[in-house]
Structure 1
Amino acid sequence: MCIFCEKAKSELDGNLTAAQKREIESCVDLQERRIRATILTGFLGAGKTTFLNFVLKSLGHGRRIAVVQNEFGKVPIDDQLMLLEKSAAETIVMPNGCLCCRVRGDLVDALRRLADAPETLAAEASGGQKLDSLLIECSGLSEVLPVAQTFFSDPFVQASFKLDSVVCVCDAASFDQLEGGVASEGAAGADVAQLLREQLAISDVCLLNKCDLVDSAQRDQVSSRIREVNPAVRVVPCRHGKVNLAQVLQVNSFSLDGAISLDAHFLTSDADHGDGHGEGHDHGHGREEHPHAHSAMSSLGLEIAEAIERSALEDWLRSVVERLGQDLIRLKGVLRQHGEASCLVVQGVGGHIDVSDASDLQPATSRLVIIGRVSDWGLRKELQDGFLALGAASAKQGPGSRAFQPPDRMSASKLRAEGG
């Protein structure tokens, strides 16, 4: 019998010892009552949201699933790309930061709300039943270890959720370029290569996505390199994020001892050794200091009310790719399309940009997020002006698209640009 079986979790003061936290994890009675949680990680553009959509479509009927999404930047896009009805999943979007830094305290608050709020919309829709599972989609620039630590840093959270597994989605086509191998730092820089290795180091499962873009020899080579980074990880090749979910979810594969081997202070509260989020983002805990990957990255969020003409958008995106070169890491957006009922979905990784139609999305505005080395003020102004010109050009052509009333917060000609 553990401390939670003896004492109401609401009475705990939050200062549990490492030994008590271990005791909680070994309590058989508690295991049956806790909600299984899966952390979904992977670098920008690997296919995390695509996989999340697949999970929700496969499991969302008749089950209550909670989703916490974290985006890098102030203009959220991924919540629009989730095609599930909102009643099927309790969704919390946490933009403007990575879960391992500024919004980690908000994550604890979000988990507390999910565990202790049967009156939520999702609960009402499912007859008041408790959550079946929790999925946390980290920003592609988040370190995972501090996110996993959240499940052990707060007594209420640890009593309510069991960290079942950490799943890392990797892009088979771009892995070598990003990670670079033992003797290289990767084309995206040493900070990105280090982040990718750290994401893999704590992961139990690696979904090697986009295997349709590589041949079998390349796939096997990448799989071997991933196992060099983490010999214990199970590599599951897939296409378009589709996989046998029995290999990924409810697998009970998270290893507390493995996490402690990566961070000797994993079970020690932040108050005991500092929050680890000071200058340099080393996350402390006895590990060698290194810059956080997002310290070199910025995001530029662009939003206008107007619909945009597709060919003009594609021409502008090509110019953005040429202008930014290797400084462009990720580009994504959901935009109203001029003259059409469907909207446009933009997905880009590096210089590879795809623009597609989506008839099942109804965005109220046109949003685009650019992530990379875009902190220069002159560059940001240039990109903002180019995006604003797309909307202005469509407006001159006349209505041409389905009726639309601009939101109160934004006139039809005003650009809302935010960055981080």
Structure 2
Amino acid sequence: MLLDDSVGVQSTMESITVLDNGCLCCTLRDDLVAAIRDIVRTVEERMANGVKDAAIDGILIETTGMADPGPVCKTFSLDEVVNRYCKIDGILTVVDAAHFLDQLARERPDGAVNEPAQQVAFADKVLLNKVDAVSQEKVQETIAAIRSVNAFAPVVECSLSLKPDAVPVAELVQIDAFDTTKLLTAESEQGDVDLAHGHAHDAHGHDHDHGHECDDPSCTDPSHDHSHDASCSDPECTDPSHGHSHSHSHSHHDTDIGSMVLEIKDRPLDVQSFNDLLSDLLENSVDLYRYKGILAFAQQGSVVRYVLQGVHDMVDISFSGEWPREKPLRTQVVLIGRNLDKEGLKQRFEQCALLPDAV
């Protein structure tokens, strides 16, 4: 089923509920809750009446391009009925390859949120649409701009109007991006899960390494965070992720929205110190879009593991038992937000770690 807030009339189609009164994402909307409750009630009634195939696979919420997904996510945790029957699978963001860079660079009043960057920041997966309408150079520049905002979401290149079947439904659902259990399941099946180096696959099977500097001078992968991306002196360089003074530089697309990884190896964290850091971050939760992590805490003479997941001030920290003896200690926290004090956060995070002999 589909909820759509882009039209101001109430639809009578059985499979679509169009919410009126504008954008459902501007605030925590009672009509969104009512619409989901109606869907749940309808399904229950059909099942009670023995209707064949009464259950539904899911609910798609399609918002306008200016929407903040945060309040929608909050709705799923705050309403008792919605929380009991529904969970968030993931946030998909469609990026227009032909116009995204112009929208990203559009002048805004001081302090105004860059809406295209905000949409990308929330994304668990990005569909880079209309790649057939632009040059490959612009595709790569757009991917680099996406990576500068959100270094972790997979980017799928596509042309939805010409080849809609090229992106299978399995690419769009069952992401389980908000499922803390999935992180631990992947860890048990694949070994140590690295949130910073997790690979994403685009529609052409390319791998994009996320979030860390690349030391290969010949690398042309725009998803790599190169230490020399601020200024590249090579006049022959065609890597759009490098800052250049000529026409394809994306340095003018920089926004105040970005992502980072906090990491500590071989030492557990002090619970109180980390809680203090998290509390300080949540004081400005409106600018903290997404965050997740696997945490190693010292507790009563041992090391235990927690999984962190959050949107704005909606925090979920789940206990996951003792840290597996066969796995090296490594705490990783991914942050995506606005005006992140990266150096300050790294210093505060380092202060959360205990000395090796303190456990």
TM-score per shorter chain, which class? 0.3 to 0.5
Greater fraction helix: 1
Q: With CA pairs under 8 Å and 6+ residues apart, which has the higher RCO, 1 or 2?
A: 1
TM-score (norm 2): 0.46
